[in-house]
Amino acid sequence: MRDYSSIDRLIQSFDQSLRSLVPGATTAHRANPAHNHDAKLTIKEARHVAGLMRVNHSGEVCAQALYHGQALTAKLPTVRQEMEHAAVEEQDHLAWCEDRLIELDSVPSLLNPMWYAMSFTMGALAGLAGDKYSLGFVAETERQVSLHLQDHLSQLPASDHRSREILLQMNEDELAHRNAAIQAGGVELPPPICVTMTAISKFMTKTSYYI
């Protein structure tokens, strides 16, 4: 495996940011779980689902940024590889959410560049704090993401099997990332950090639903 220099990783980070933010630039490595599933929605239901999927898409933009920032500053190669692997799976989520938004005749959040910059910074700082804290940050992030996904699953119309299959697979992957981070040595974060992360997450979900 090639040993990339700091400049190489910076160039990679810039490329990754563009792929995360430019519509259509991210390609899923796995088949879309919504394949062969139906969704018959009223106009009102479609608008609500579009808002939910826009929030989930923004969440995946944040996840990409977090992993990219952490991979850039991770100290151990094994931890960096773990972050990069998780980011690849999150790319699938990003592409699936974007596909569903297109089907719903909607678009991603206009605030995604801001979410990406903020999340990248948080991820890089977590990486600088040490790998065990960086992994703990991943575990807490994925725990909160899973809670959001479960809430959105409860809000989906019963007939929207397409969105449901996507969110179910995303939730399964997020929990797997959380467990992997804990097993790799992630530590529990101090309560003030968790509370701050929750507050930022709530702000993102409320604004991305509409914008």
Longest Cα–Cα distance in the chain: 53
**Torsion angles phi and psi, residue 105, rounded to 5:** 55, 45
> Average model confidence (pLDDT) for the chain?
82
User: Is 84 labeled as ligand-binding?
Assistant: no
Residue 77 forms part of a structural domain: yes
Total-model pTM: 0.82
Q: What digits encode the pLDDT tens for the residues 83-117?
A: 666 667 778 888 899 999 999 999 999 998 888 88
Reduced to 3 states (helix: H, G, I; strand: E, B; else coil), residue 39 is: strand
User: Is 37 labeled as ligand-binding?
Assistant: no
Give the DSSP letter string of 73-100: H-SSHHHHHHHHHHHHHHHHHHHHHHHH
Residue 7 forms part of a structural domain: no
Residue 109 forms part of a structural domain: yes
Residue 27 forms part of a structural domain: no
User: Is 90 labeled as ligand-binding?
Assistant: yes
User: Is 142 labeled as ligand-binding?
Assistant: yes
Residue 135 forms part of a structural domain: yes
